[in-house]
Homo-oligomer: A and B are copies of this chain.
């Protein structure tokens, strides 16, 4: 159940354009909160909610040095999401393969 809830938050974090843009920026390297907030026309407290959501859902880590909080992407979470998606794709492809095998067998039977 804990794993379910974690995946819920992992995907919920991606259901917002600001949070996806922050992840995109952090893919290019660590950044401070003010660098990250720069492109957004948003009050800092609202922006910080997104940062905390990304941190709580495991997408980023943050650390503070003096007055500057730096954010870093958590690659393991990208791996978890990709692994869930490739399971879905394998189910799907497996099904398509079985369908193809079925059609091929029946075509063969029909031509015999």
> Which A residues form the contact surface with B (CB < 8 A)?
4, 7-12, 14-17, 20, 23-24, 27-29, 73, 75, 78, 81-82, 84-85, 87-89, 91-92, 94-95
In the assembled complex, the CB of A100 is this many whole angstroms from the nearest CB of chain B, namely: 13
How many copies of the chain does the oligomer comprise?
2
Chain B contacts of A10 at CB under 8 A? 15
Chain B residues near A78 (CB-CB < 8 A): 85, 88-89, 92
Residues on B with beta carbons closer than 8 Å to the beta carbon of A16: 8
Q: Which of B7, B20, B27 contacts A95 (CB 8 A)?
A: B27
Q: A17-B4, A29-B95 are in contact. Are A88 and B23 (CB under 8 A)?
A: yes
